[in-house]
Amino acid sequence: MASALPLLLLCVLVPTVVPEVFGPGDGTEDLKALQVSIPRHPALDAVLAGDITIPCLITYLGPLPTAGTAGRRAVLGAPRVKWTFISEGREVEILVARGDRVKVSEDYRLRASLPIFHQRYTNASLLLTELRPNDSGIYRCDVQHGIEDGHDILDVKVKGVVFHYREGSMRYAYTFTEAQEACARIGARIATPEQLYAAYMGGYEQCDAGWIADQTVRYPIHTPREACYGDMNGFPGVRNYGVVDPEDMYDVYCYAEELPGEIFLETAPDKFTLEEAAARCRVLGAELARTGQLYAGNAAAGPCRVSKPSSSSATRRDSPMPRADTMRTAFEACRRLLQWQKSWRSCSCPERKWRLSREGLYTPSLSLRTRSWKSRACPPKTHWGQGPGTPH
């Protein structure tokens, strides 16, 4: 039976921004003004669990202050720098610096610094380490020197997502090698300990033990409870079983990063079979997306993607782009279906439906609109698997 498989397409738009360049002054005695700029080129590469340096350059139209002079006079003669993070209308102070004195907010302790400022007061670049998903947002550099001030902002998007993965109802079914292969099949790779921890610090929780790239088995918990014990002491944390026999069976935590385009939905009045969905994607110059690409795009279930659209496909108007909240709603619907532990744990997104069919288990037909399904050669109920949680 045909299933409702919306299709998604990826496109790339790279804005061209030329930063303003300010020249030095003519050597007059008094400070006249200063300019603050965050260069946009080269583009910053912000990835989960990585580091990023956000440049903030200070140009004086007059004599420059001297770094390295000791004492109170040197501090008072230095510019005051403040870095602020802005997200969803809320401002959070990252740090404030003047001369050699830097005050870092508690939320950014050990992660934020100004590595060059104490040597050169014209460079207030911010170094932010161990990037988390919630580090995406606007960064503002404010500089004040005497009665002069200036600022600039930069929007930063942290790429990469960690997600728990298993195929259908097959809980704890991967050896270490099979776990790596499973992530690769869906357009992802097995997550590293640093990536899982960064995801946890960004709010991620999953009570299912899964393989990690260093051959350990872990799971992140924010609310410790029975059978989901967090860091083993009853506190929130990433539980770690340590290095495990590679032939033991667990789920896997995958990591997806690159989304070389933009996702959109494609629908049809009579819905699509898997073959029809793939054909429709080809007509659009695209291909069916894989699970890792959906997670990377935080997009919908049942997608198409194109890595580098041709000029014809990029200008087509027969595939309207949906609102982002519509795509997110579809994605959440599929996620809820996959985690529903009553009656049928084996409902599936297109990727999983195809794999189950090839392995000859059964062929579920899923509608995201009605949440109904039908199956032929359905296995006994005892084979449908169990619900989420309770790894041990």
Q: What are the residue ranges spanned by the domains of the chain?
A: 1-18+261-367, 46-156, 161-256
How far is C-alpha 122 from the chain's CA centre? 32
Cβ contacts of 151 within 8 Å, gap of 6 or more: 36, 140, 141, 142, 143
pLDDT digit string (tens) for the chain, length 392 residues: 444 444 444 433 434 333 333 333 333 334 447 899 999 888 898 999 999 999 999 998 866 665 555 545 455 678 999 999 999 889 999 999 998 899 999 999 999 999 999 899 999 999 999 999 999 999 999 999 988 999 999 999 999 999 999 988 889 999 999 999 999 999 999 999 999 999 999 999 999 999 999 999 999 999 998 888 877 778 899 999 999 999 999 999 999 987 766 676 788 888 888 888 888 888 888 888 777 878 887 633 333 443 333 222 222 223 333 333 333 343 444 444 344 322 333 333 333 333 333 333 333 333 333 333 333 333 333 333 333 344 54
Q: Which CATH class is domain 161-256?
A: alpha beta
Which residue from 145, 89, 78, 84 is spatially nearest to 112, judged by alpha carbons? Answer: 84
Which residue from 291, 104, 286 is spatially nearest to 186, judged by alpha carbons? Answer: 291
- Secondary structure letter of residue 363 according to DSSP: -
pLDDT for residue 261? 67
pLDDT for residue 291? 79
List the helix and strand counts (H, then E) for the chain.
8, 20
> Interior CA angle at 181 toward 177 and 184, to 5°?
145
pTM: 0.66
pLDDT for residue 16? 38
Return the exposure string of 90-107: e unless at least 16 CB atoms fall within 10 Å of the residue's CB, then b.
eeeebbbbbbeeeebbee
pLDDT for residue 68? 53
Helical ranges in 229-349 per DSSP H: 274-283, 291-297, 311-314, 324-339
pLDDT for residue 378? 37
Coil, strand or helix at 327: helix
Instruction: Give whole-number Cα distances, 374 to 124, 230, 348, 370, in Å.
Output: 61, 38, 12, 12
Q: Are 228 and 391 in contact (CB under 8 A)?
A: yes
Instruction: Give whole-number Cα distances, 307 to 12, 23, 274, 319, in Å.
Output: 8, 41, 20, 17
Cβ contacts of 187 within 8 Å, gap of 6 or more: 256, 289, 290, 291, 292, 293, 296
Q: What angle, rounded to 10 degrees, do the helices at 350-358 and 274-283 form?
A: 130
pLDDT for residue 192? 98
Coil, strand or helix at 328: helix
Architecture of domain 46-156: Sandwich (2.60)
Which helix or strand (DSSP H or E) is residue 102 part of?
strand 101-104
- Secondary structure letter of residue 383 according to DSSP: G
Q: Are 101 and 108 in contact (CB under 8 A)?
A: no
Return the exposure string of 341-354: e unless at least 16 CB atoms fall within 10 Å of the residue's CB, then b.
eeebbbbbbbbbbe
Q: Mind listing the pLDDT tens digit for each residue in 346-368? A: 333 333 333 333 333 333 333 33
Which residue from 133, 129, 99, 98 is spatially nearest to 113, judged by alpha carbons? Answer: 129
